Structure 1
C-alpha cells in the first residue's frame, strides 16, 4: 500500500492532468486515490488516539513518580534535621566511623528579608512580560499594535 506522502503526490499530479485525461478514467482514478487517502487518514487518527492515551498515562506516571520523589526528599530532610538536632543536643560537631564521617558545617550566609516594603526599589528585579491577552483585545477593538499581528492558524481535529 502506498504511503500518505505518495498518495498525496499522485493526487496532485492527477489534478495537473485533469484537462488532458479521459473524464471517466480521471474520476475513477481520483476516487481510488481519495479512498486510499481516507483509509490512511483513519489509520493516522487511530494511531494518534492511541498515542494520546499513552501521553496521558505517562504524564500521570510522571506525576506519581514526582510525588514519590518529593516524599523521599522530605524524609531525607527530616532524617538529616533529626540527626543534626541530636548532635547539637549532645554538643557533638563531628562523628567519625569506618563507613562515614558525619559533621555539622557552617553554611555561607544567606539573606533573610524582614520587611519587603522597606527594601529600596533599585534592589528589585524588573522583568517585562508581554500581555498577549491585552494585545489580542486591542486588535479585536481595531487598534494597531506596532511589532505584533493577529494571525489565524489551523489544526487537525478528530471526532
Structure 2
C-alpha cells in the first residue's frame, strides 16, 4: 500500500529509515525503562500477530511531519479492508523487509540473538572450567542459559521465515 487515506487526507506510506526512527523514538517515549528496541518490539508484534503492531507500523510509515493518531490510522486501515486480509502480518512484514536498510536491521536482530547464544556457550565453558562438584547450581544455570538463548535465536529465525512466506 503506497497511500493511506486518513480523515480525508492522503498519506504517502513508506517503510524506510524515517519509519525506523519513528518506531524507535515512540517506543522509547512510551517505555522509558525498557531495554527493548522499538523496531524489535514491532517485529515481535508482527510475529505474535498483534493488530496494534500493524497500526503502529503504518502510522510511523506515514510521510508527514505530524503523524495521525493510532485510532485514525486503525480506522483508515479498517476502511481500506486491510484487516480482512488473511495475511496482514506477513504483508506488513514484507513491506518492511522490501527496504534494504530495514532488512539489515532484521538481520542485525537475528545476529544479536545468535551472539547471545554463542556468548552463553562461552560462559558455560568458563563455568565448567571453574566450577567444582559443590557448585553445580551455577553450572546448571549456565547450561539453562545456553539452551534458552539457542531456542530464542532458532525460534525467531523460524518465525521470521514463516512470516515472510505468508
TM-score, normalised to structure 1's length? Answer: 0.27
- Greater Cα radius of gyration, structure 1 or 2: 1
Q: TM-score, normalised by structure 2?
A: 0.26
Higher relative contact order (CA 8 A, sep 6+): 2
